Structure 1
Amino acid sequence: MRPLLLPSSAALLLLLTACGTQNSGSSGGDSASACRTVAPGDPSGAEQDGVRIIGPTGAGCQDVAYEVTNRQREPFTFTITFDDRADTGAVIANGRETVASVPAGRTVRRTLTRSDGGADQVAISKVRSVPADEAPSEGGACPASGVRVYADEGDAAMGLRVVGLHLENCGTGATYRLDGYPRLQLLDEDHEPVDGVRILRGGAAIASGTGQDEPPRALVLRPGERARTGLVWRNTTGAGDPVNAPYVRIRAKPGAAPVTVVPELDLGTTGQLGVGAWQREDAASGPAAGSDRPVSPPSPSSVRP
């Protein structure tokens, strides 16, 4: 398991209200030298988990320059959530930026472009990172494995959470076979394994009506075909310490290459997570695309990595 070496700190604020000192005669390009008259909030805490806001930049100071430092021993992909905030501190809007495949020990600089001019403050509210070779892929080039795996935004109501997992055979020739449940490993913010959580087969183990209770089936996915499953949990908190596991390392089947998704599991003190069996995503493709025959579920009630 890879040790996480990144520090943690409070959200970072960048004040953008004093850009009136910018040289209006400067042309194109990066005008950061003129914008540096703007104080960057609290300089002593200007970093969160390897991401640092440098300062406002661009004509009009509406954009934000930031750096990402990878202190791991292999390339990592970073996803940063930025908040636009009013003077009162209220969040007006937020968005995510992904910086892919930052080499080990390297720092890269990026610009957060805000076409609407932005708010008075910008804050880094969350940083997540996964090994670059395990990053989920919803679009773009097909991974070397020939299989694309990612999590959706999920749904939450009355303390019940459901997050969908999706798999696509994005290769050009070979079929991809699935039979049963994905293998899961829960990881904490330090990318360390989370122990003491039972991973149960089927959504009914957590709540009824989640859509994760179909029996396991043997699937054969041709190129372009998809499968889906889902994670189900409650964030109920009782006696004991609540468990949070931002990351889940997924193997679609035994021997498959791992993919690490970020469903932000807030398991409370329940100690349980339900997972559904893989099902064909496009029902219209029907049995002609594969056997889709039911298989007998194994006798243990929990799925291990």
Structure 2
Amino acid sequence: MRQFEKPTRTLTARRPAPAAPAATAVAALAAVLLTGCGTQTAGTSGTSARAGAAGAPTASGSTGPCGAPQPAGPAQDGVRITAVGPACAEYEVTNPGAEPSDITVLFARTPDQASGPGNLSRTVTALAPGATEKGRLDLTAPGPGPATAKPGTAPQVKILKVRSVPSAEAPRPDGPCPPSGLRLYADQGDAAMGLRVVGLHLRNCGTTTVALDGYPTLQLLDQGHRPVDGVRLLSGGAEIATGTGADKPPQKIALRPGEGAGATLVWRNTTEAGTPVNVPYVRVRATPGAAPVMVTPELDLGTTGRLGIGAWAREDAAAQAPASRPPAAGG
């Protein structure tokens, strides 16, 4: 906690002079404008406030800075949009699970303003079981995508996707070094003509050398974090495609502090007869005895039933620069 110096003298409070009517009006207008879309935080386009274990109820029957409250409806994986206005939208994220979780929400809106954004991703970290955090989206910030807005149309915000990862297993590309001494995360990935490639990145941020020999250990998980059966995990990616980096032979690596390694996941999303398999989560262990990290590579395996896993290979620091995932949870 930051310490403050004790005052060296005593100040006597004085009653302020009455404000002039014009000054009062200006101050009131400024207050309205400042609260219209909330206080902006560097690096984000919205605000959030955490409520207690049960969350604070949304006011009803009144119009807030983001418009009238939305009719009460079922939450989507614990997330609910509570109000939408011309410049912002408000939402609530509740952790329905039994352990603290990092929850990432992907929002989408129709681009009804020339400067409006496309998809917006927000992540709430270490949200306690049953707790609720409120947030606000700035719908006026510049964003990707073409501007196809029609003047005078109202914003339409919806929840596209919700991803929840146990905070104890969440990847921290830019965070403090975890107790394991190994920082692991998945990159943004690449896709072309049905071929998918995602990189796993590992960095030794600890103080001891880690021995790598072969492949990372993977467990595929569905939306409810349940194991997914029926998918062949291949050592290497040659059966899927060549030239992806996943078909290099395994090698023994002594990963010293500060050094990094990478592995590649490769698959195809071809769909033929049968039911397509989608795997949002993968629990990864760098070595068989390492602490698990849950990433969200969004494996759309189609009906192929195969996933190629590349062996660990040395990776320089430049290749390990954390890549921001597309608006999804992640990784």
- Scaled by the length of structure 2, the TM-score of the pair is 0.70
Equivalent position of 1:170 in the other structure: 205
Q: Which runs of 5+ in 1 are unaligned?
A: 1-22, 285-305
Between the aligned partners of 1:37 and 1:211, the Cα distance in structure 2 is 48
Between the aligned partners of 1:96 and 1:81, the Cα distance in structure 2 is 5
1:115: how far off? 5.3
State the identity as a percent: 58
1:26: how far off? 3.9
Of residues 215, 226, 231, the one that matches 2:265 is 231
Equivalent position of 1:79 in the other structure: 104
Of residues 35, 50, 64, the one that matches 1:35 is 64
Between the aligned partners of 2:142 and 2:208, the Cα distance in structure 1 is 48
1:239: how far off? 1.2
Equivalent position of 1:143 in the other structure: 178
Aligned length: 255
8 Å CA contact retained: 2:111, 2:118: no
Question: Are 1:197 and 2:231 an aligned pair?
Answer: yes
Between the aligned partners of 2:317 and 2:177, the Cα distance in structure 1 is 23
Tell me the secondary structure at the aligned position of residue 191 of structure 1: coil
Q: Which runs of 5+ in 2 are unaligned?
A: 1-27, 38-61, 144-148, 150-154, 319-331
Equivalent position of 1:49 in the other structure: 77
Equivalent position of 1:258 in the other structure: 292
Tell me the secondary structure at the aligned position of residue 209 of structure 1: coil
- Matched to 2:168, the amino acid is D
**Residues 44-193 of structure 1 correspond to what in structure 2 (within 5 A)?**
44-45=72-73, 47-56=75-84, 62-86=87-111, 93-114=118-139, 116=141, 120-171=155-206, 173-193=207-227
Tell me the secondary structure at the aligned position of residue 190 of structure 1: coil
1:121: how far off? 2.5
| Cα deviation digits, residues 85-144 of structure 1 (max 9, x gap) | 1359xx961131111010112112223344528882222211100111011111122222
- Matched to 1:211, the amino acid is G
| Cα deviation digits, residues 217-236 of structure 1 (max 9, x gap) | 11112222110001110011
- Matched to 1:264, the amino acid is E
1:30: how far off? 4.3
Identify the structure with the greater strand proportion: 1
Equivalent position of 2:255 in the other structure: 221
Between the aligned partners of 2:88 and 2:208, the Cα distance in structure 1 is 45
The alpha-carbon distance between structure 1 residues 40 and 156, as it changes in their structure 2 partners (threshold 3 A), is: farther
The alpha-carbon distance between structure 1 residues 64 and 192, as it changes in their structure 2 partners (threshold 3 A), is: same
Tell me the secondary structure at the aligned position of residue 254 of structure 1: coil
- Matched to 1:123, the amino acid is K
8 Å CA contact retained: 1:63, 1:117: no
- Matched to 1:51, the amino acid is V
8 Å CA contact retained: 2:89, 2:137: yes
The alpha-carbon distance between structure 1 residues 28 and 140, as it changes in their structure 2 partners (threshold 3 A), is: farther
Between the aligned partners of 1:176 and 1:62, the Cα distance in structure 2 is 50
- Matched to 2:265, the amino acid is L
**Residues 244-255 of structure 1 correspond to what in structure 2 (within 5 A)?**
244-255=278-289
| Cα deviation digits, residues 11-56 of structure 1 (max 9, x gap) | xxxxxxxxxxxx9564466469643683456x35462111112224
- Matched to 1:132, the amino acid is S
Question: Are 1:278 and 2:312 an aligned pair?
Answer: yes
8 Å CA contact retained: 2:66, 2:89: no
Let me know the Cα RMSD of the aligned residues. 2.7
| Cα deviation digits, residues 186-238 of structure 1 (max 9, x gap) | 01111111100000011102111111111111111222211000111001111
- Matched to 2:127, the amino acid is V
Of residues 195, 198, 211, the one that matches 2:245 is 211
The alpha-carbon distance between structure 1 residues 200 and 117, as it changes in their structure 2 partners (threshold 3 A), is: closer
- Matched to 1:209, the amino acid is G
Equivalent position of 1:7 in the other structure: none
